[in-house]
Amino acid sequence: MVGFRYEFRLSGSGGQGLILAGKILAEAAAIYDDKNATQSQSYGPEARGGSSRSEVIISDKEIDYPKAVNIDLLLCFTQEACDKYCKDIKENGILLVDSNYVTNIPKGKFKVYCLPITEIAEKEAGKTLVANIVALGIIVELTRIISKEAVASAILSRVPKGTEELNLKAFNIGYDRAKTLK
């Protein structure tokens, strides 16, 4: 059967905007790119502080099982998340880490991309707050599963009024930076 299923897990700690990033990714695919998408998150006491996990599944078919078990792309904003989840990446999958927080890179049969995402957000976009959106830009270029335009539209519909320009700038910075990685 033809068809694809792509699994993302965005992990780090509460407050890093990973849930929002997951929703934007899923909305971009579902609403602007005519694909199917689900987004779920760790839901529990740990979501109030502590670790945070957001999973996105994108497919051109109906999405049945909604959890990520065979991850195509894992984003890690903390060392703890990286240590915990790297075993779930599938062969030839992608591990993307923020090198500002993750220094000990695990070994495995996956591609590793290290970028100082938070630093890029602060120095190039002007605010550490948009590190999640910088990461989205990187993810879009690295995976090429969702179109750049779709994600830009989804960002515009989700971010608070008055921050559109800042977020789009952050997104483009991440996108362009990822091009240099290949």
Partner 1 sequence: MQRINKKDIKLMTGNEACAEAAIVAGMRFFAGYPITPSSEIAEILSCRLPREGGVFIQMEDELGSMATIIGASLAGMKSMTATSGPGFSLMQENIGYASMTEIPCVIVDVQRGGPSTGLPTLPSQADVMQSRWGTHGDHPIIVVAPSTVRETFDWTIKAFNLAERFRVPVIVLLDEIIGHINEKIIFPKKEEIVIIERERTKENPKTYLPYQCVDTDIPLFADFGAGYRYNVTGLCHDETGFPTNDPEKIDALYRRLNRKIERYTDEIIEFKTVSLDDAEICIVAYGSSARSAYRAIRRAREMGIKAGIFQIFTIWPFPYEELTKISQHVKNFIVPEMNLGQIAHEVSCATGCDVIKVNRVDGGLITPDEIFERIKYVSV
48 scored as a contact of partner 1 (CB under 8 A) = no
d(CA 161, CA 88): 37
**163 phi and psi angles, rounded to 5 deg:** -110, 5
Nearer to partner 1, 45 or 162 (CB): 45
Q: Which of 13, 14, 20, 36 binds partner 1 (CB under 8 A)?
A: 36
In this complex, which beta carbon is closest to partner 1, that of residue 62 or of residue 165? Answer: 62
Q: Which is nearer to partner 1, 30 or 102 (CB)?
A: 30
Closest CA to 10 of 64, 50, 90, 68: 68
Among 10, 18, 37, 121, binds partner 1 (CB under 8 A): 37
Is-contact 56 37, C-beta < 8 A? yes
Nearer of residues 71 and 97 to partner 1, judged by Cβ: 71
Task: Rule CB under 8 A: choose which of 15, 49, 67, 123 binds partner 1.
Answer: 67
Nearer to partner 1, 43 or 180 (CB): 43
Give Cβ neighbours of residue 161 (< 8 Å, ≥ 6 apart).
none
Strand segments, DSSP code E, in the chain are 5-13, 36-41, 51-59, 71-76, 89-98, 111-115
What is the CB-side half-sphere exposure of residue 140 using CA atoms within 13 A? 31
Taking alpha carbons only, the member of 122, 165, 166, 112 closest to residue 142 is 112
Can you tell me which of 14, 20, 31, 128 binds partner 1, judged by CB under 8 A?
Answer: 31
Instruction: Identify the residue among 13, 20, 60, 63 touching partner 1 (CB under 8 A).
Output: 63
23 touches partner 1 (CB under 8 A): yes
Candidate residues 13, 41, 79, 143; the one interacting with partner 1 per rule CB under 8 A = 41
Q: Are 22 and 56 in contact (CB under 8 A)?
A: yes
- Enumerate binding residues for partner 1 (CB under 8 A): 1, 23, 26-27, 30-32, 36-41, 43-45, 62-67, 69
